[in-house]
Structure 1
């Protein structure tokens, strides 16, 4: 089985793996939106719906996966709305034919609306509680956000890829290096001190389910696959969108609600644009690295187009400008 490959994971093997846990699917397998792993929903013979998640081979160690599972179980024990893996015979991580997998209860909900201030306020309270519970210790086996080596690795991945059109290569890498240098300079110049805590790590609208039960609304955080150590602002900044004034209003809404449950360190506001640059660069490198997986050309065909890379050159220039702007402030 080649690196990062799901080629042998067919429907029969998936069903056999699930049944090896004493759970017997009664319906077909519904593929859910996940590119890094393979995730399926099904109904079992107990008439309950479950989700099975198969981890991408060679991406995580068992210890790193168990860090994720123990984190989710800890949050659940603190009444933080997350979806923890099911514990079966005292275990959460299982293996079948070299594929590691786990099982979850299926939960429903609709997409979170990050331009809805009421929902942002709710999320701010949830993240305040989340970080209060997660901040008691750090991950032992998960990584910590570290800009310099992450940028170096991502740049090397892009450098060895064949996606960037030849006529754009010099411009692209010149601007990419400017973005990296500007980000690292901003970080070096910043005097911000912050605590490193356990984070969701990929807290965007697609990883939040919004539930309405009569008069009761609630948000549930899902997919802790990218959990890691870092500053609290990493779990907030991806909710910000629109122009500067809109982002300041959204930020103020989030942080005011957050502070009902946990103190927010305003020094971390200077990290928002560096973290945005980090995500931009890592995202391009991630797509390049995963391109041999058939799911990626099928779902991200635009990544191999000249137009995409022309747009990225413009996006990089805009991000350099954003890094040179004063950080967002509270008190909108």
Structure 2
């Protein structure tokens, strides 16, 4: 079994390197650096010797080499800037001294945003959920104003297909399990595509893309605000809703109802999109397995995910994919599902 990760590492991101890079951007840190929780990029909080735009603390993100193109990163930054201009609370990157939001320093790329504090939202509170729904509707209203040209699209089974292809081509699975997993993955990919094919007229928009509770911070005076648009994509708006849902079906339905109550105060929601929750969940499961395999050469990953890649891991994935096949089984397509119908399936933990 091989976990090939040909992209560059973060091995040269020493504190001295990062401070030098920040100095080169025109921002002088006082030397205090705190690494924040992020596996995909290297993200740290720093304190500035001189305030910038009223902020004495900032967050610097060093992008993983080889993942996104400059055009994709700059499109993420432009979206964040649009949202901030529309008074949608989001951490938008600063334009640095060289005139761009993206800075190159000795083979690494970084962006800097003002620090925005907060805590996780209380998802048991219906008013908090309605507020999050209104915030998502405002984000999507801005998202509909123009398309992404360079970011990825979660609008078909293509991301799952690409993930499956990479895993099989790179021999990432134990050979005795690979055929069984591949059979389940292929059938899931067919079911995902079939679900999207039932909604050929579904509008797509620019999305947050990774809207789980960890990417929403809450403050009592401002309510919720978004962090981390690193996975911004084009897709159906339900992609920004389903990752908020807990695994238990009744609780998930109650949460969804409250979020949509808030959402529809601002924008319309097409209930047909609820058909895509399980296909999108399944696509994320396959995508997540490939993400872990691709990153296995990064020393942080074996430490954080020691269970990944074992025969038990892949057998568990086979079982979960088979469960998802049942969850994606077509129901009565003549009548669009509504958020209150028992046919809407919210089982599963939402993550691979």
Correspondences of 1:1-332 after superposition (within 5 Å): 3-46=7-50, 48-89=56-97, 90-188=99-197, 190-191=198-199, 193-212=201-220, 216=221, 218-324=223-329, 326=331, 329-331=338-340
Is the deviation greater in 304-313 or in 70-79? 304-313
Contact kept, 8 Å, 1:161 with 1:288, in 2: the verdict is no
Q: Give the match's secondary structure for 1:194.
A: coil
Contact kept, 8 Å, 1:111 with 1:208, in 2: the verdict is yes
For residue 143 of structure 1, report the CA deviation from its aligned partner.
Answer: 2.2
Is the deviation greater in 257-266 or in 166-175? 166-175
**Normalising to structure 1: TM-score of the pair?**
0.92
Partner deviation per Cα, 1:284-326 (whole Å, 9 max, x = no partner): 1111111111111121111133332222122112111111164
Partner deviation per Cα, 1:227-246 (whole Å, 9 max, x = no partner): 11111111111112223332
Q: Give the match's secondary structure for 2:46.
A: strand
For residue 163 of structure 1, report the CA deviation from its aligned partner.
Answer: 4.7
Unaligned stretches of 5+ in structure 2? 1-5, 342-352
Contact kept, 8 Å, 1:114 with 1:240, in 2: the verdict is no
Contact kept, 8 Å, 1:192 with 1:270, in 2: the verdict is no
Partner deviation per Cα, 1:8-38 (whole Å, 9 max, x = no partner): 2222111100011222211332111111111
Q: Give the match's secondary structure for 1:29.
A: strand
Contact kept, 8 Å, 2:19 with 2:31, in 1: the verdict is no
Q: 1:152 to 1:15 in 2, by over 3 A?
A: same
Contact kept, 8 Å, 1:155 with 1:285, in 2: the verdict is yes
Q: Give the match's secondary structure for 1:219.
A: strand
Contact kept, 8 Å, 2:161 with 2:189, in 1: the verdict is no
The runs of at least 4 consecutive aligned structure 1 residues that moved more than 6 Å come to none
Q: Give the match's secondary structure for 1:324.
A: coil
Partners of 1:151 and 1:331 in 2: CA distance: 29
RMSD: 2.0
For residue 248 of structure 1, report the CA deviation from its aligned partner.
Answer: 2.0
**Normalising to structure 2: TM-score of the pair?**
0.87
Number of equivalences: 327
Unaligned stretches of 5+ in structure 1? none
Partners of 2:168 and 2:122 in 1: CA distance: 36
Q: 1:179 to 1:237 in 2, by over 3 A?
A: same
Is the deviation greater in 140-149 or in 255-264? 140-149
For residue 169 of structure 1, report the CA deviation from its aligned partner.
Answer: 2.6
Partners of 2:174 and 2:285 in 1: CA distance: 19
Contact kept, 8 Å, 1:139 with 1:229, in 2: the verdict is yes
Contact kept, 8 Å, 1:113 with 1:205, in 2: the verdict is no
